[in-house]
Structure 1
Amino acid sequence: MTADPTAERAAAEDLRSRIAAELDTGRARSVGLTLEALDEAELVTQHSPLMSPLVWDLAHVGNYEEQWLLRAAAGGRALRPDIDVLYDAFENPRAERVALPLLSPSEAEDYNARVRDRVLDSLDRAALHSDDPLLGGGFVYHMVIQHEHQHDETMLATHQLRGGAPALQDPPAPPAPGAYTGPGEVLVDAGPFTMGTTADPWAYDNERPAHTVDLPPFWIDARAVTNAQYLEFVADGGYDDPRWWSERGWDWRTGSGTSAPAFWARDGGARVRRRLGRVEPLPLDEPVQHVSFYEAEAYSRWAGKRLPTEAEWEKAARFDPATGDCRRFPWGPDEPEARHANLGQRLLRPAPAGTHPAGAAPCGALQMLGDVWEWTSSDFTGYPGFAAFPYREYSEVFFGGDYKVLRGGSWATHPTAVRTTFRNWDHPVRRQIFTGFRCARDAGGGTGNRED
């Protein structure tokens, strides 16, 4: 069948319009977290050795955009090749970036604006429907859009670590839902499913290629572990009992002196948390947040369960046994909306666990996208047939190291930067990121009813 040139042109224009709009959304978000939120002194300060100064992130997203959308995609002349080394994340560890001769906030703003003007001009000529793997389907633009949103989430982690008064306006909370009355866990039947993707134009190399994985049956929690449930573990002496901890986890626990999730504290007899500069009562119905892999692993053992593998998590999130299809989002192909999931810093906090029924996965599990990143038991590595693209430093250099896979995104993750195939990873000790977990267990083994 001969392609309809009119339809092809219309599709190309729709894609250009979507790309331009998403680029603008990402930049507005970056500016809102930096130039519109804090003064220059705060932007150039390193608020934690775990994080960059916010001004580094601001100029880094512009430099990444210049390198990929002006130079690699459009073949344009470099604007500021002299700053490439300053904003190379692999050349400059986070703790050392504050000492670099970085662009000032105003210089970064001007540089980013000049890059963006040229990007939008070149977008009009980009061959988005070519067979070029970088340009085809808009891949390189999608990569840059997601990259900026990923740094925006990193900036939110920096806001969480900084001291002082809140810098971000807290959106009003939606009406409180009723108490959760659903099941504690749901069954995922045995059988094969397709893990990963080959065709998704937004997918990174580590999500590819699609491949078949056959799993035995398992149970997975219908919702993420809540603060109330985690408090039971704390009250039962979970942090002081080595039975629940792996050897490495116990070494970390005792060496760090950790006795509760990050940012928890006591106010008299009550538990409170610090959230983006606010100290507030611990919300018992929200998913627990800011826990390490080791803490999630220990709780799971205490509860008579375990963490899900990465493959189990993905099958629970996307496989529809009625049709045999694997969904891009738990609810189907539709782009995420507020009714589906808590994403894109809409609330600046997790929603209560057990909400968003419109976003339920085929198995019945809730909130598998949004609210908190969920630790899995799997190490980060490539899928069978993995090929690095377009650069090794996005995924491949992290394979085989001390990294655990996280899935599902958080309240701080933008909808364009998460899907059921999306893979995140971090060191098992990390707690500044917006992490939680849900438990799993083998079908037919254990009661798994401690939280019911």
Structure 2
Amino acid sequence: MSNSPNSTFSLNDLGGLFRRVRRQSELLCEPLIAEDYVVQTMPDVSPPKWHLAHVSWFFETFILIPFHPGYRRFNRQFHDLFNSYYQGVGTPFPRPRRGLLSRPSVVEVYRYRKHVDRFVEELIAGLDRQPDCERIQQLLILGLNHEQQHQELLMTDIKHIFAQNPLFPCYCEQRHCDKQALNVDLEWIKITGGEVNQGYDGDVFHFDNESPRHKVLLNDFFLANRLITNAEYLDFVRDGGYQNPLLWLSDGWAILQKESWNAPLYWQELDGEWRVMTLSGLQTLEFDEPVCHISYYEADAYANWAGKRLPTESEWEHAANQGSIARGNFLESGLFHPRPALSGQGLMQMFGDVWEWTQSPYSAYPGYRIPEGAVGEYNGKFMCNQMVLRGGSCATPESHIRKSYRNFFYPHNRWQFMGLRLAADA
């Protein structure tokens, strides 16, 4: 059986898949101590124990309460406390105040997870006798994909939490990847355009924002064979890229000045040497690794400085559909950090390592309709003022990503594993 929540499988396999995904979330938290679970360092970051509780809330709210007649809530107050943004089912506790919650304890959150798990597994065991079997199965798969998204958020939030600590805590020991080739030359791959298809094409799970599949007209274009490296981005920094307003979008220049940006998030210059905070603590900046933790504004400014541009999401997806793509560096590698490009031909690093900013605003595809019910709040209501990223990162579960997968964040966000690949007109 596949470990992917996106695969076709029998009902007999669903219980095992549910247990594996749920266990993965808890394994990611094993290096933490109790105090780590409670910290919230900015509104975009949630305390680790909130993540663990919220994904359980999702199964409870959308599956157990509607479809399990014998289910009893663990704690009725959790209904609003661990609601993220679903206004249709309650009043969510304010996101910026999640770090103020010393209670429930970490122990109680784990008890809540076990409570939910027991009833979900009970429901799965009798799923073939349920009149709503197909709908429940769809919601279970959505819930598992939702939990995988929070597994990535767990890693990015833990990194931000540790980075605010002057002790620079170490989440895991540094693991050195196999560097088969360093300093891979940046080359340009010409991609033929025309009328192409965009969007999900298959018969298993995908998020609603990946469809409907539709036609897009593209000109020929060039796409860089690999991601931009720390060394290349450092050239931009040293050339005064953060001091030149002509390279920046107006909103980007405003936030640069407000936040005093002078380098990517987690970079520090100490005694003339650049270092970077990682999940293995503070490390020397490796020049051949992909630049990471940059906003859309920084990616766009770099592209302007380099005399190029960012790809559109249509271009990125069309390029990703050209032939086979090498396996990427995902959560399962245990590196939790981008790795250098390895020797190879054609497009490299298309999946894993860092999410790639595109120049495309996050909006609905032609013919898109928001799903009915509260789960319709999952994606559709965020289709405004955000930008699309593609490809996954070193914190993304490998079974979670697809060529049609659309991630989206506000252009000023930097705490996710975000980088860039250049494009150019042909």
TM-score (structure 1 length as normaliser): 0.83
Q: Distance in 1 between matches of 2:390 and 2:8?
A: 33
Structure 1 100/131 Cα, relative in aligned 2: closer, same or farther at 3 Å? closer
Instruction: Determine whether 1:394 maps to 2:388.
Output: no
Q: Distance in 2 between matches of 1:221 and 1:382?
A: 27
Aligned residues: 406
Where structure 1 has 5 or more consecutive residues not aligned to the other structure, the ranges are 1-11, 321-329, 332-338, 444-452
Could you tell me whether the CA contact under 8 Å between 2:230 and 2:291 is conserved in 1?
A: yes
Q: How far does residue 432 in structure 1 lie from its aligned partner after superposition?
A: 0.7
Partner of 2:4: none
**Partners of 1:371 and 1:108 in 2: CA distance:** 31
Structure 1 position 348 matched with structure 2 position 336: yes
Equivalent residue, structure 2, for 1:370:
352
> Which residue of 253, 256, 267 maps to 1:253?
256
Answer whether contact 1:206 1:383 (CA < 8 A) is retained: yes
- Answering whether residue 19 of structure 2 is matched by residue 24 of structure 1, we say yes
- After superposition, give the CA deviation of every residue in 1:366-414 in whole Å (9 maximum; x if it has no partner): 1111000111111111111112236222111111x22111111100000
Q: Match of 1:206?
A: 209
Question: Does the Cα contact within 8 Å between 1:139 and 1:201 map onto a contact in 2?
Answer: no
Instruction: For residue 20 of structure 1, give the secondary structure of its aligned residue in structure 2.
Output: helix
Whose RCO is larger (CA < 8 A, sep 6+)? 2
Q: Structure 1 residues 344-353 or 287-296, which shifts more?
A: 344-353
Which residues in structure 2 correspond to 1:292-307 (within 5 Å)? 292-307=295-310
Does residue 442 (structure 1) correspond to residue 418 (structure 2)? The answer is: no
Partner of 2:3: none
Q: After superposition, what is the alpha-carbon deviation per residue over 1:276-312, rounded to whole angstroms, capped at 9, x for unaligned?
A: 2511110111110000000000000111111111111
Q: Separation in 1 of the partners of 2:307 and 2:13?
A: 47
- Listed as ranges, the matches of 1:86-105 within 5 Å are 86-90=81-85, 91-100=92-101, 102-105=103-106
CA distance in 2, matches of 1:268, 1:101: 39
In 1, Cα distance between equivalents of 2:212 and 2:311: 21
For residues 154-187 of structure 1, the C-alpha deviation after alignment (integer angstroms, 9 at most, x for no partner) is: 1111211122453532363232222344552211
- Which residue in 2 is equivalent to 1:84? 79
Kindly indicate whether residue 274 of structure 2 is the aligned counterpart of residue 237 of structure 1.
no
Q: 1:203 to 1:131 in 2, by over 3 A?
A: farther
Q: Counterpart amino acid of 2:52?
A: L
Aligned to 2:277: 274
Q: Secondary structure at the match of 1:134?
A: helix
Question: Which residue of 188, 192, 195 corresponds with 1:192?
Answer: 195
Q: How does 1:286-365 map to 2 (within 5 A)?
A: 286-320=289-323, 331=325, 340-346=327-333, 347-354=335-342, 357=344, 364-365=346-347
Secondary structure of 2:226's aligned partner: coil
Contact 1:405 1:423 in 2 (8 A): yes
TM-score, normalised on structure 2?
0.88
Question: Match of 2:88?
Answer: none
Distance in 1 (CA, whole Å) between partners of 2:275 and 2:174 is 20
Residues in 2 aligned to 1:145 and 1:437: alpha-carbon distance in whole angstroms: 28
Retained in 2: the 8 A contact 1:157–1:432? Answer: yes
Amino acid at match of 1:292: S
Secondary structure at the counterpart of residue 85 of structure 1: helix
Residue range with higher mean Cα deviation, 291-300 or 311-320: 311-320
Query: What's the Cα RMSD here?
Result: 2.5
**2:402 matches 1:419:** yes
What SS class does the counterpart of residue 10 from structure 2 fall into?
helix
Q: Give the conservation status (yes or no) of the 8 Å contact 1:343–1:412.
A: yes
* Structure 2 residue runs without a partner (length 5+): 1-6, 86-91
* Matches of 2:292 and 2:247, distance apart in 1: 19
Decide whether aligned partners of structure 1 residues 396 and 239 sit closer, same or farther in structure 2, where only a CA change above 3 A counts. Answer: same
CA distance in 1, matches of 2:193, 2:129: 40
In 2, Cα distance between equivalents of 1:144 and 1:30:
13
Question: Is the 1:74–1:126 Cα contact (8 Å) retained in structure 2?
Answer: no
Per the alignment, residue 89 of structure 2 pairs with none
Q: Which amino acid aligns with 1:126?
A: L
Q: Distance in 1 between matches of 2:297 and 2:418?
A: 12
